[in-house]
Each structure stands twice: as C-alpha cells, then as structure tokens.
Chains A and B, each alone.
Chain A
Amino acid sequence: MNKPSQRIIAAIVGLIFLAAGVMKEMDPAGLAVDIQNYRLVPWTWGVLAALYLPWLEMVCGLALLLRRGYRGALTITAAMLAVFLGAIASTRPRGLDISCGCFGHGVHRGFWTELIGDAILLAAVLWLLRADFQRLSPVITSEVKT
C-alpha cells in the first residue's frame, strides 16, 4: 500500500467500521431486533450475528487502521459490505421500511442513503483490494519465475 490516497481511504473505511462496531456493541439486543426486521434469517441466527458482527467489524476496522492483516481485513470487509448491500436492497421489493442497524439500533437514515452509503464503501474497499493485488502481483510473478 504505497499511495497516500490508498492509506487515507483505508483509514477512513477502518474508522467507519470501528465506529459501527462500537455502536452496535452498545446494544446487541437492539441489533438482534434490527437483524430480525430484515426477515432473512431465523431469530437464533440473528442473535448469533448480533453477538459476533460488532466485534468482527471492530477487528476489521482496527486491522485496516493499523495495517495488520490488511488484505484479509479488506477481503472480509468487502464480503460484509456485499452482504449488507444485498440485505438492504432486498427490503424495498418486500415492502419493508426498516432501520438498517448499520450504526446501532434505531438509527434510520432512509433506504437510499443506506444503500448508496454502503455501495460507496464497497466500491472503496474493492478499489483498495485491487490496488493491493496489483502491488503484490510483480512480487508473485518474480517468485514464480525463480
């Protein structure tokens, strides 16, 4: 990760995930209700996600901020954002008008704000992943040659 722009974007994404994780962790019961409101998984799965997800977000956020396990954190963050995006997008056709639970229980920013915000974050993370792969590809190529 050489370019300052990539460092800045990674730090911003890391901070956002860290903050989102901390806010979710303040009220896991509320988060379980928010997950239940998506009507995608049974209650027990929602509870498991409500216990695990905030910490996963905090670990990923810290990893991006400290640049430890950077590529792994980016991959998991991209996967999480893709799942969140799909879940949010699925609410509109099913007539659900719910809080996304992205930044804690009861914070409702509106469907499009949440969808676009998530899409921007996902695009940023995919861009960082691509840059990271491009940075390492010459190393991998030379390793293969030797």
Chain B
Amino acid sequence: MAESAENRLNRLVQANSEENRYEWARKWKAGGKPVAAMLCSYVPREVLYAAGFLPWRVTGVWSEATPLALLYRPSWSTPRNTRILELALRGDLDFVDALVGTDWDIDLKRLWDEWTALKSPKLSHLMFVPRFTTELHQATFRQSIAKLLAEVEASSGVKVSPQALNQAIRLYKEMRELIQRMYELRKRETPAVSGAEALGITTAALVMPPEEFNTELKALLPYLETRQASLASKHPRLLVSSDFLDDLRYLELVEDTGCVVAMDDLDTGSRYFMTGPEESATDPLMALAKGYLARTGCPRMADWDEQINQVIKWVKEFHIDGVLELRLNYSMIRHMRSPFLKSAMEEAGIPFLSLPREHHFANESQLRTRIGALVEILQAA
C-alpha cells in the first residue's frame, strides 16, 4: 500500500531528529562517497556537493550531558558548539571526511579548532566570511570559496568544473524554490504546516542528499496545498527569531501555548532558503559569493538595520502579530543586537519578547510561562 502523504510529510519533518539524522550520511558513505560536516550556514554547500561530498549540517547532542566537551569549553560558551564537540569527542562523528567551519563568531571558530585538534579529520577547513557585503567583500569571499574548492578537490581527487558547480547551484536553487513554496503556504490564515513542521522540513534539507529532499518535497507540495496544519490555535501568529535552532520541540512548545509560528528568522530556515546564488556561465564562484552574502544576514554580519528591516517586512508579509526572539545562551553577538531588535519592533508597533534558550530542549516550564503570557496578551488584543 502506498504511504500516505501525511506519513511521508512526518518522515520528512523528522529527517533531522536525533534518531534519523545520521542515516543520510551513512547511506551516502555506503555508496563510497564522502561526507562533509558543515558548522554554519555560510558554508557554500554547492562547492562540497559538486566535489562529491554530502554537505551535512551538524546538530549537537540534544539528550545527554556533555562531560567530554566541558573539559575544553567554559560554561559561558554557546551550548550548541559544546554539544557538537561532545558528539565529536564521543566518536559519533568519526565518519565525517571533511569538517568545514567559518568565523561566524569566535565561539564557532574555536569549536572548529577543538574538533580539528582533537580528532584530526581527513580534511579540516576554516573559511573566512566577510562581515560586509560590498563588491570588495564579495571578491574576497570569492577567494575564500576558491580556497575551499581547492582543498576539497585535493582531498576528494575530483576536479570540479564550472559546469559541475553550476549544476550544484541549480540543484540547491531548486531546493530553495521548493522551500519558498512551502513558506508561501504559511501565509494562509491556517498555514499548511506548523512552525515546528516547517523547521523540521528546513533542517531536513540541511542533512539529506539534495536530490532526495527535492523529490520528497516536490511530491508533497500538492498535498500541502490542501493541508491545514493541526494547531491548538491559529491566532496569534508569531515570528520566531534565533540562530542555530534545530530542535523542533522549541517551536512545538511555542505553538502549544496557543499560537502559530507562521514565519521564522532563522539561519536554519528563512535566512538560508529565501534567497540564494544564481547560476553563472562566467564565474560560478563569484555567483556563490554574491548569493551567500546577499541573503538576510545573521547577527554576525554588520548590516543590523537590514536584518531588522527584513524581519519587519516578514511581519507584514506573513501577517504576524508578534515577534519572539529565542536567544541562544552565550551567543554574544545575538545578545548585543537584541536591544536594537527590541527597540525597532517597539517603534514599528510590533509586540516583542526576547528569551534565552539552551541548545537542547530545556527550561520548558519557564519558557511556557513567559511565552504563554505573550500569547495571552496577543489573543486579547
């Protein structure tokens, strides 16, 4: 009997769950092909894919303590990176052939240092990503991408042609377009998917082989067109802003308080998928540099005004009633931007709440109370 569309959707949503996320890498490796662990959304996956790697975004351990990593990382470092290091030190990530990090912030850079020093992956590369987006910075980012390309070519023995790069760009562009169609369906009064489901789908896209993901989502879109997410309440509609959020339970908790997360401002969501690189017959590396720098920036980028204005645009476009910021604990740059996001929201008349969170699902009761209070106020409005 053919699998129901709902079951198929659930499988996709759970593709990055703690039980399932390794399966994609294992299958890829079973085909004799290498896996590249990506630490950040600024790593151009197209380059890795074109060289035969499965670009696989690493998620930290959710369910257990981190005794090994805490020998190296202080209590005030971001828990997401500590939880990734724990996995690496436990040996759970020994299958990784290449590790690619960036200077998203120093904390992430140091995770790369620790993983590299303690586990010596076959290929370990740290990318420089400019904090500005002018032509000069694009050109320098292009050099940085070219350097990554040279390293993956040397490691894999695969010479990547401009055509192969363009093909990868096309594939990921298709992925983005499919996800954008799914986001369109979130604009409805009753969105086709809940916020948690949407995050499940976008995080699936970050670990699954792109063709397989595209096939799945393409097949599901007609069903999603007709679907109404099962939600405790359709009102108020929230936008959630955060970084490195990949545990669906956070958004399930938010929605469980009686609202719908109808849009996000996440590097694991809209910031990665709403725009992206275009093919280029003349210089695909430059196309990648431009595409990755042109996307809505993470707080580490200098264009805070543009980032905040984009949130305001999304608020209008997705009929959002309030913005909930879930700051990853000890993410210094997010925390520094937070007061400005708050004041911009106040100025725009958008209700706003900022709360700290762990990487793994924790402090449920406190979060439920605080978010519940916001939801209640918005429901009464």
Mutual binders A and B: no
Residues of A within 8 A of B (CB): none
